[in-house]
Structure 1
Amino acid sequence: MARCSEDQACSLSGECVRAGFHANFAALQGPFSKGQDVTAACLDCHEEEAQEMLQSPHWLWTGPTPNVEGLENVTTSGKNDFVNNFCVSVPGNEARCAQCHAGYDYKDDTFDFTNERNIDCLVCHADEKAGYVKGQKSAGQPEPTVDLVLAAQSVGPTSVETCGSCHFYAGGGDNVKKGDLGSALEHPTFESDVHMGQGITCSNCHDQGGHVVRGQGVHLAVSRGRLDCAECHGQTVHATAGVNLGSMIDNHAIDVACQTCHIPSFSRQQPTKMDWDWSTAGNNTRGGGTGAESMTLADGTVVQSYLQIKGDFVWEKNVKPTFAWNNGRVSRVTLDTIYPVGRGGPESPVVLAEPLASIADADAKIYPFKVMTGRQPAHLADRYMIAPDLFGPGAFWAGVPPAGSYTPEAVRNLWTASLIAGAKLAGQIGANETIADNEWDFVNTVMYMSINHEVAPSVSSLGCNDCHGNPSFPWAELGYPGDCGSTANCGRH
């Protein structure tokens, strides 16, 4: 057991926990029976901060979307109505999704977003060594084994670990969703991320003060301000490469985002999901009757390739990004989006999220993306993505038949019931409406996701030959007539 200092407390696991400024506050001596009791104590001093939090997208799961096509002037879209090709959507599944909500008891659409006592201060501010963990199925309440007094007395600034407790595990597992955010970044080396590997934390870049968190992706396009590398590094940063070469690289940076060269690949240390096929879910006979299968990647990493409640997965490691023009403007499918006619097949998937810029946009640059593909339910005639009811009594996950009772017909019927229930909970159909079995099916989808983390050391960045003279570089897809390396200037300015 560690010998802790005077400003630390010892946890049940023997960890030395931060116990400084707040440790002796009378209001934090407990006992606390639930998370809201801790929040009530925090409010004695932090009423202003609570009001800030009540307006934040981290709390509301909605917010300003000034760069989303068709949603420029609204503040009511976001995680709560965006559709993705991981666990699809929030409505009907709140009690499970709330493991990553900064609140308590977000069980369904009756949750009171104006009640400041429902804010979970500890998930962001408790020392990670205090053992504060939210339950997977408890609508955001902590695990019953958590020492709430120890966690409350340990509060302080956020950390990579506290931010990562949600963001590293988005999509249902470690590094599943983003591809550039996984537990490998909790204690990163310089090689895994040059910023976090030198002690830079999430808040150093993203915290604007007043619980305003900056940053905007493509798949989660709520924005309280975009971030740009040049805010720290400036516009002309390549002088160390020599006068001529440095000037040439700086000229490239007018058209090419920093991330494009400096993140040559993502998920370098751990794999990420690249495809999720919901159409095969429900089969407990697979995996020798366990309903689970695994596979081994080329480097020896073992991943789960099938799970009966979720379907088939494709994982990749050390992935080369897809390049596309981006100026912040994006398209985004929501629960009420009608997707275009002819979309949904393998060659023309429904595009759930993508950047809208092209080579013709003077303010755009070439950025790197993870491109996630999948198959998920859609209403065929009305052309909308259906929100499935996955979690809870009577939902899809609870109803998957055991191996001995499996039939394709039984699973199809379970899916239909889940989609009817989910569509009602999401407001896609009325309480007395239904979805017939022949009105829905699984369609192909694709979703672009921004890559901004796992910045590699400069010696690993892309060089001239990675693009110019490379027959696999997507010149045509980016709008160029061909490799412009033989011309005097590739730029557009």
Structure 2
Amino acid sequence: MKKPIIIVASLCLSGVVLMGTLSGKDVDQGTLEKLKAKYAAKHLPSADHAAFDALKKKFTSPRQVTEACISCHNKRHLEVMSSNHWNWEREEYVEGRGVVYLGKKNAINNFCISAGGNEKSCAKCHIGFGLDAKGKEYSDPKSVDCLVCPDNSDTYAKAPDEAGAPAAALDLNAIAQSVGRPKRANCGVCHFFGGGGNNVKHGDLEKALFEPGRELDVHMASPGANLQCVDCHTSEKHNISGKLYSLSSMNQNRSTCDQCHTAAPHADGVLNEHTLKVACQTCHIPSYARANATKMFWDWSTAGKLRNGKPYIEEDSMGNHAYMSIKGSFTWEKDVKPDYIWFNGTASHYLGGDKIEDPSKPLALNPLYGSYADEDSKIIPVKIHRASQPYDPVNKILIKPQLFGDKKGEGAYWKDFNWQTAAKVGMKTAGLPFSGKVDFLKTEMYWPVNHMVAPKEESVKCQECHAREGGRLAGLNDFYLPGRNYSAPVEAGGKWLLILSLLGVLAHGAGRLISGRKNGENK
């Protein structure tokens, strides 16, 4: 009896192994090795800028450097001036709106709310000099900052609250002569500190990525591949690939894992089948903010408290700002398990002046679109940042307050601590109506998590999603997930299939035994 059963079991096991082998045949097993070899090669500069006479002249202002750069790289400044990094907006198609110009100029977030009117502070992260609300800088070629992105001296810095001007006492000649391919430091000095501090916004972009270890990010790990941002975020004519969906809405010009790893990166065919509906990041980024905490909630309604007539700051146990008079209260979290949503690469956005339909519900400022039924959608990990921010309860629109100011009495909240005057000045600058009333509204923003890829040993385990209760995908209920969802007919059918299969094996084995004995007797 045992022999036939063992034979049948062996055949079944062989079939499973064979199917797995066949399903993985389309995978190039050498892809990873090729990528390692490609990025192990050290980038060599194509020119020695220290040898150029145009850069040996004594520079007394950054605009002189720009003129010198343009004298050789003629028309490159026009490419920069056509980019969204320069214009802080780009043409986008938004479902329900049509084609709009979308960017920092008109979008509202739930961190520092709006760049409009606050350019002198926000433009520290603009690739130009002297940005203001009037936008004159946008048409001035000499205002292009030719040093902030390609500086390889690690000494260039923007001055705080000076509309994008560089810090004083910089050796502009030494910096200009050391320019080269942008490094993580060039990108990170802005993108790691968005929102007013380290890791405030993204959760997966922060200062620990300047020189990360493999446990934090396998791609950017200094002892490993040591990838720079521009290795993935490639550019053409100064237009950089990649989408930040706090300011983007279209499924194009995205940077994806497929660029290097292909759509079938695993030797296991079953895992490759997952990539049809599951983004790589979903499994390979088990948590974000693994080195330093990220801001999860911002309560503007508590701002304005003073001690002895002066603003103050309180810190939490991790050393993060828990309260600031100028900004309110904050909640931070570290090593955060992401939320998960369906995403097809398109989004909508709240723009200044949009009516709020139901103030009793949290307002999504950048809803990301997708569903199981949508063939372009995949499950992605996201950080959801929540806030309570000012809005006009009469006009039912979000307020774009004037936050930054040089001195008291100009209406800036960070100087006068008066919401009514800050709202009045800010809304006037934005060209939006203001009733004179200020209240606070709950809002949410969705931030796709794309960085901090963990070592493969730390990837999300199967049972973390395929779990009856408490799984990572518990919030996605528009599809059947094996191991999580229960269907009485399916469960009953499965049990009967197992029973019938077992009976079939037993019957077949018994038949073989009886047949064998008869054959023996006949002999």
The Cα shift of 1:398 comes to 4.2
The yes-or-no answer on 1:231 pairing with 2:244 is no
Alignment of 1:47-446 (within 5 A): 47-66=74-93, 68-74=94-100, 76-129=101-154, 131-197=155-221, 198-221=225-248, 225-239=253-267, 246-285=268-307, 291-296=312-317, 301-340=318-357, 342-343=358-359, 345=360, 348-393=361-406, 394-400=410-416, 411=417, 414-429=418-433, 434-436=434-436, 439-446=437-444
- Match for 1:454: what amino acid? M
1:57–1:222 contact (8 Å) kept in structure 2:
no
Whole-angstrom distance in 1 between the partners of 2:275 and 2:246: 24
2:468–2:485 contact (8 Å) kept in structure 1:
no
In 2 relative to 1, CA 455–479 (structure 1 residues): closer, same or farther, beyond 3 Å? Answer: same
The Cα shift of 1:339 comes to 2.4
The Cα shift of 1:481 comes to 6.1
Whole-angstrom distance in 2 between the partners of 1:311 and 1:487: 42
Whole-angstrom distance in 2 between the partners of 1:149 and 1:71: 48
Whole-angstrom distance in 2 between the partners of 1:72 and 1:229: 29
Task: Tell me how many residue pairs correspond in the alignment.
Answer: 437
- Match for 1:328: what amino acid? G
Alignment of 1:16-27 (within 5 A): 21-27=48-54
Overall identity of the aligned pairs, in %: 38
After superposition, the C-alpha distances for 1:321-368 in whole angstroms (9 at most, x for unaligned) are 11000001112111132222x23x4xx211111211122212100000
In 2 relative to 1, CA 222–78 (structure 1 residues): closer, same or farther, beyond 3 Å? Answer: farther
2:130–2:137 contact (8 Å) kept in structure 1:
no
- Match for 2:293: what amino acid? P
Name the residue aligned to 1:450: 448
1:61–1:79 contact (8 Å) kept in structure 2:
yes
The Cα shift of 1:395 comes to 3.8
The Cα shift of 1:112 comes to 3.1
SS state at 1:324 partner? strand
- Match for 2:56: what amino acid? Q
In 2 relative to 1, CA 150–141 (structure 1 residues): closer, same or farther, beyond 3 Å? Answer: same
In 2 relative to 1, CA 269–337 (structure 1 residues): closer, same or farther, beyond 3 Å? Answer: same
When normalised by structure 2's length, the TM-score is 0.79
In 2 relative to 1, CA 176–476 (structure 1 residues): closer, same or farther, beyond 3 Å? Answer: closer
The yes-or-no answer on 1:485 pairing with 2:507 is no
SS state at 2:148 partner? helix
The Cα shift of 1:174 comes to 1.0
- Match for 1:103: what amino acid? G
SS state at 2:331 partner? strand
Whole-angstrom distance in 1 between the partners of 2:97 and 2:263: 31
When normalised by structure 1's length, the TM-score is 0.84
In 2 relative to 1, CA 71–111 (structure 1 residues): closer, same or farther, beyond 3 Å? Answer: farther
After superposition, the C-alpha distances for 1:126-169 in whole angstroms (9 at most, x for unaligned) are 1142x110011111001112111111111111111101111111
Whole-angstrom distance in 2 between the partners of 1:237 and 1:309: 48
In 2 relative to 1, CA 486–367 (structure 1 residues): closer, same or farther, beyond 3 Å? Answer: closer
- Match for 2:164: what amino acid? G
Whole-angstrom distance in 1 between the partners of 2:477 and 2:455: 30
Question: Which ranges of structure 2 fall in alignment gaps of 5 or more residues?
Answer: 1-44, 491-523
Name the residue aligned to 2:14: none
Larger radius of gyration: 2
In 2 relative to 1, CA 92–381 (structure 1 residues): closer, same or farther, beyond 3 Å? Answer: same
1:184–1:269 contact (8 Å) kept in structure 2:
yes
1:194–1:457 contact (8 Å) kept in structure 2:
yes
After superposition, the C-alpha distances for 1:18-38 in whole angstroms (9 at most, x for unaligned) are 997111322212322221111
1:64–1:222 contact (8 Å) kept in structure 2:
no
SS state at 1:112 partner? helix
After superposition, the C-alpha distances for 1:456-487 in whole angstroms (9 at most, x for unaligned) are 11111101111112522365632336653268
The Cα shift of 1:227 comes to 2.0
Whole-angstrom distance in 2 between the partners of 1:395 and 1:143: 27
In 2 relative to 1, CA 487–82 (structure 1 residues): closer, same or farther, beyond 3 Å? Answer: closer
Whole-angstrom distance in 2 between the partners of 1:458 and 1:210: 35
